[in-house]
Structure 1
Amino acid sequence: MDRQQEFVLRTIEERDIRFVRLWFTDVLGTLKSVAVAPAELEGAFAEGIGFDGSVIEGFARVYEADMLAKPDPSTFQVLPWRGETGGTARMFCDIRLPDGSPSLADPRHVLQRTLSRASDLGFTFYTHPEIEFFLLKQGWVPGASPEPIDTSGYFDHTPHGSSADFRRAAITMLETMGISVEFSHHEAAPGQNEIDLRYADALTTADNIMTFRTVVKEVALEQGIYATFMPKPFAEHAGSGMHTHMSLFEGDANAFHEPGAPYQLSKVGRQFIAGLLRHGAECAAVTNQYVNSYKRLWGGGEAPAHLTWGHNNRSALVRVPMYKPDKGQSTRVEVRSIDAACNPYLTFAVMLAAGLKGVEEGYELPPEAEDDVWSLTDGERRAMGIESMPASLLEAIEIMEDSELLAQTLGEHTFDFFLRNKRAEWADYRNQVTAFELERYLPSL
């Protein structure tokens, strides 16, 4: 037994932890959990906890259902909403097959495999997400419209405001669990908030995002409200994204930084952006995996519906921030398309793979888009060579189907399941008769 495992067992005894929840996600990024008694943990560390993988979205077919969840002791944390004593802790798990090999359907393994490829090239991948979400007065009920908890706007400071109280409680809980928060504020739409997590390696960040979404929903329930990461719950307001800052490091050196270069951006950084742009449409079904995601992307404003990059251009897919131009470690790129509701493991895997492809193949970065891309006509965009993100989930699926990069990154099993699931979602959506159609056509046709 290694030191981390010994630390976990000792902490459980000292803190009187009664249950340990083992967390993992399905292919779509839905959190799964099984609770074990502390007495079972030594066996779980050594052999894993068996479960039926055929009932988890995308994990296995019925005849190959036996799987093992092996807890990662480095992710151990006590759940603060379950009490300090007699409480509950959690660990993320790696999913294994009975022979001990990694499950190819485990999203955490997909990311770990891609990070290993980056490591072989000498790189460590760091990410920093800005996570947006809406707070509603109650969860949705059939026939009702969602109602935000306030009417505040971007950066508004409202004394004794419910959003401010919520953010303070959520951040306190996150920091109790060892998750560092960098910023928080009210976003542009009523009831919309943003909390930004501090930079970390991509695997830690993905684990933190899964914890973050759980914490936000727990705190909301405690306060008698409802939190949603749905990309666009309101037609008249901006949607919720997860703008994510990314950088590659070679040891302690930022591989994206080059003093004196435009925006202090190195050749590696420029090639990484070129990879994100060239493969952005292929990645869209993963980074924006729901029908509703494309209502956000094509809703105007600062949503990135076109494959462009820029510096002060918040309509671009990729932005190069310049908050601290004299600080080399801060050079990074910001990807603005990602949904707050994505599977973070698969999203970081495909984003990293696209960027690395640009570096390995020496992609040339196209000219910067200085204009607000939304203000241009279709003809002007075509003349400038600006291509678009998919306009619907169906289009995203069709582009992804032909992507060799996505098939290689996700692996055959995850790639095939993901596409089957998304095709089924589109078919369900296509079969619906919406309120829009009834209101527009029923009175006159």
Structure 2
Amino acid sequence: MVDKQRDFVLRTIEERGIKFVRLWFTDVVGTLKSVAIAPAEVEGAFTEGLGFDGSAIEGLTRAYEADVLAHPDPTTFQVLPWRGEIDPTARMFCDITTPDGQPHAADPRQVLKRTLAKAADRGFTFYTHPEIEFYLLKSSQFGADGPEPVDRAGYFDNVPGGTAHDFRRRSVRMLEDLGISVEFSHHEAGPGQNEIDLRYADALTTADNIMTFRTVIKEVAIEQGVYATFMPKPLQNEPGSGMHMHLSLFEGDTNAFFDAGAQYQLSTIGRQFIAGLMKHAPEITAVTNQFVNSYKRLWAGEGESKLGEAPSYVTWGHNNRSALVRVPLYKPGKGQSSRVEYRAIDSAANPYLALSLLLAAGLKGIEEGYELPPEAEDNVWELSEGERRALGYAPLPASLDHAISYLEESELVAETLGEQVFKYLLLNKRAEWRQYRAQVTPYELRSNLEVL
């Protein structure tokens, strides 16, 4: 099968006149890396890998073990539509190995593959479906009032002649050309904010698709003279951008979350999976929400229902959009679509690591038989602090510093990510917090300079 896939790639390169092939992989933070090779080098890359200095990549290797190899995955071959017919270019995602051919412990794609293998050993296949939000701005530059969005539209608004219509249409067409199926696209609640939902796929394909999605969105923005950002909260008084992730486990062709006779048609395995997500949510938040700015999104809704879409407390509910984990409305006759939705994750998260930890947390709940606490039936934000405390609704970390304190004590995260990725994440996030903490912000100057 692998030989057939490689032959298909080599034949397509020749037939389509491909001039460059980009080999893609990500660093630990989730930044896409790319190296272009000539078509004549692709066959050698398949058989031997492409060597490079891994110590120059964030978190990949230490200086004394710098040499690594990138092995292109032929199943991910796609021609890049934005390159057009001038110097046609294709891409493939890569797995990173050590010189002796072993999977590299610090390759995020390998981290997800390891976690998926553990699920497979238990008979599960992990399927995911992301709702990806982002902002379109007139420019990456900003003045005293912050970035300027391309429109002032709101949720599901139809704006005749608006930038977002053409942008979404072009983006969806380009994604489909890349073999990435799109379910929905629409204007979101914030001015200039948009959402595009990708169809269900296995988790590894989803992670690859998210990395491709971000690149497509950036490329279309450049083409149309605007700027796209996946920053969790770029506008102070507007909603942040999340990546609600729908999750399900299958045993063969059977949805393991579906039980026709259970409440919400949610099986015991599904309930235990949610319990695992909830129990381990605080310790995985530094990965699902990895930037200082992430916590401006998670906690923006306090006292402001307009901004309260992001969850801040560890709760679950049926169709409750203030909950961390939501059980979407069941559609009669569609038991195979049973799923749960994790709502905290950012659009800027490293999808390989985030999906690894969501799966690991859910599997832990199944293995240990975690009990699911009572569901949250009310809007969590509208409750008083005392009411939330009485109901046992624990908060998610309120800052990156707070999240790091949970992360560094987590056996689940350390085991899932592996020692090297775990240590690098801690170093990277601690450094970001130190740099942020040292800043003197415009808020402080406005509030204090003249009165102190």
| Same fold by TM-score greater than 0.5 | yes
1:35 alignment partner in structure 2: 36
Who is 1:17 aligned against?
A: 18
Which residue of structure 1 lines up, in the alignment, with residue 131 of structure 2?
130
Instruction: Measure the CA separation in 2 of the matches of 1:325 and 1:220.
Output: 40
1:85 Cα deviation from its structure 2 partner:
5.7
Indicate which of 391, 399, 406 corresponds to 1:392.
Answer: 399
Task: Provide the rounded CA distance (Å) in 1 between the counterparts of 2:47 and 2:144.
Answer: 50
Query: Offset of 1:378 from its aligned partner?
Result: 1.3
SS at match of 1:289: coil
Q: SS in structure 1 opposite 2:429?
A: helix
Distance in 2 (alpha carbons) for counterparts of 1:323 and 1:83:
43
Q: Deviations over 1:155-210 (max 9, x none)?
A: 00111211011000000000001000000000001000000000000000000000
The 3-state SS of whatever aligns with 1:414 is: helix
Tell me if 1:431 matches 2:430.
no
Give 1:324 deviation, angstroms: 1.3
Tell me the residue number matched to 1:324: 331
Give the residue type in structure 1 aligned to 2:451: S
Q: 1:198 to 1:191 in 2, by over 3 A?
A: same
Contact 2:288 2:349 survives alignment (8 Å): yes
The one-letter code matched in structure 1 to 2:5 is Q
Indicate the SS of the match to 1:32: strand
Q: Which residue of the other structure, out of 288, 292, 312, is the alignment partner of 2:319?
A: 312
Letter in 2 for 1:216: I
Match of 2:146 in 1: 145
Q: Distance in 1 between matches of 2:343 and 2:98?
A: 36
Gaps of 5+ in 2: 302-307
Residue aligning to 2:238: 237
Give the residue type in structure 2 aligned to 1:195: I
**RMSD of aligned Cα (Å):** 0.9
Measure, in 2, the Cα distance between the counterparts of 1:8 and 1:206.
21
Do the aligned partners of 2:142 and 2:148 also contact (CA within 8 Å) in 1? no
Hey, what's the Cα distance between the residues in 1 that align with 2:333 and 2:160? 36
Q: How does 1:212-223 map to 2 (within 5 A)?
A: 212-223=213-224
Alpha carbons 2:128, 2:246 under 8 Å: kept: yes
Checking the alignment, whether the CA contact within 8 Å between 1:15 and 1:85 is kept in structure 2 is: no
Deviation for aligned residue 1:141: 4.9
**Normalised by the size of structure 2, how large is the TM-score?**
0.97
2:67/2:98 contact within 8 Å kept: yes
CA distance in 2, matches of 1:16, 1:320: 48
Listed as ranges, the matches of 1:196-235 within 5 Å are: 196-235=197-236
Structure 1 match to 2:264: 263
Q: Which residue of 1 aligns with 2:76?
A: 75
Matches within 5 A, 1:237-316: 237-300=238-301, 301-316=308-323
Aligned equivalents of 1:288 and 1:168: distance in 2?
Answer: 29
Give the counterpart of 1:405 among 406, 409, 412.
Answer: 412
Unaligned runs of 5+ in 1: none
**1:366 matched residue in structure 2:** 373
Asked if residue 339 in structure 1 is aligned to residue 346 in structure 2, the reply is yes
Equivalent position of 1:160 in the other structure: 161
Give the distance between the partners of 1:326 and 1:374, measured in 2 at CA. Answer: 34
CA distance in 2, matches of 1:33, 1:443: 49
The equivalent residue for 2:304 is none
Other structure's SS at 1:334 match: strand
The Cα of 1:20 is off from its aligned counterpart by 0.2
SS of 1:81 mapped into structure 2: helix
Q: Distance in 2 between matches of 1:120 and 1:407?
A: 20
Q: What's the CA shift for 1:367?
A: 0.2
| C-alpha deviation, 1:84, in angstroms | 3.5
CA distance in 2, matches of 1:84, 1:45: 25
Give the conservation status (yes or no) of the 8 Å contact 1:110–1:409: yes
Q: Deviations over 1:377-428 (max 9, x none)?
A: 1111111111110000000000010000000000000000001000000000
Q: CA deviation at 1:142?
A: 7.0
One-letter amino acid of the structure 1 residue matched with residue 150 of structure 2: I
Q: Is the 8 A contact 1:209 1:344 kept in 2?
A: yes
Is contact 1:15–1:84 with CA below 8 Å preserved after alignment? no
- Partners of 2:175 and 2:310 in 1: CA distance: 28
**Residues 148 and 142 from structure 1, CA distance in 2 versus in 1: closer, same or farther, beyond 3 angstroms?**
closer
Q: Does 1:381 align with 2:418?
A: no
Structure 1 runs (4+) deviating above 3 angstroms are: 141-144
Contact kept? 1:16, 1:85, Cα under 8 Å: no
Task: Report the count of equivalent residues.
Answer: 445
Which amino acid is 1:10 matched to?
R
Mapped partners of 1:56, 1:86: distance in 2: 28
**CA distance in 1 between partners of 2:119 and 2:144 (Å):** 48
Structure 1 residue 227, shift from structure 2 partner: 0.1
Q: Residue 2 of structure 1: SS of its match in structure 2? A: helix
Aligned mates of 1:84, 1:357 — CA distance in 2: 49
Q: Structure 2 CA distance, aligned partners of 1:144 and 1:93?
A: 41
Pick closer, same or farther for the CA change 1:250–1:321 going to 2, 3 Å.
same
1:264·1:325 contact (CA, 8 Å) conserved in 2? no
Residue aligning to 2:175: 174
In the alignment, the residues of structure 2 paired with residue 141 and residue 383 of structure 1 have an alpha-carbon distance, to the nearest angstrom, of 44
Question: SS at 1:108's partner residue?
Answer: helix
Kindly report which structure 2 residues correspond to 1:112-127, keeping only aligned pairs within 5 A, or say none: 112-127=113-128
**1:102 matched residue in structure 2:** 103
DSSP 3-state at the match of 1:283:
helix
Q: CA deviation at 1:313?
A: 1.1
Question: CA 1:114 to 1:37, structure 2 compared with 1: closer, same or farther past 3 Å?
Answer: same
Q: Deviations over 1:19-60 (max 9, x none)?
A: 000000000000000000010111100110001000100011
Q: Percent identity?
A: 71
Give 1:441's aligned residue. Answer: 448
1:247, 1:333 within 8 Å by CA — same for their partners in 2?
yes
1:164, 1:40 → 2: CA distance?
Answer: 40
Inter-partner Cα distance in structure 2 for 1:210 and 1:52:
22
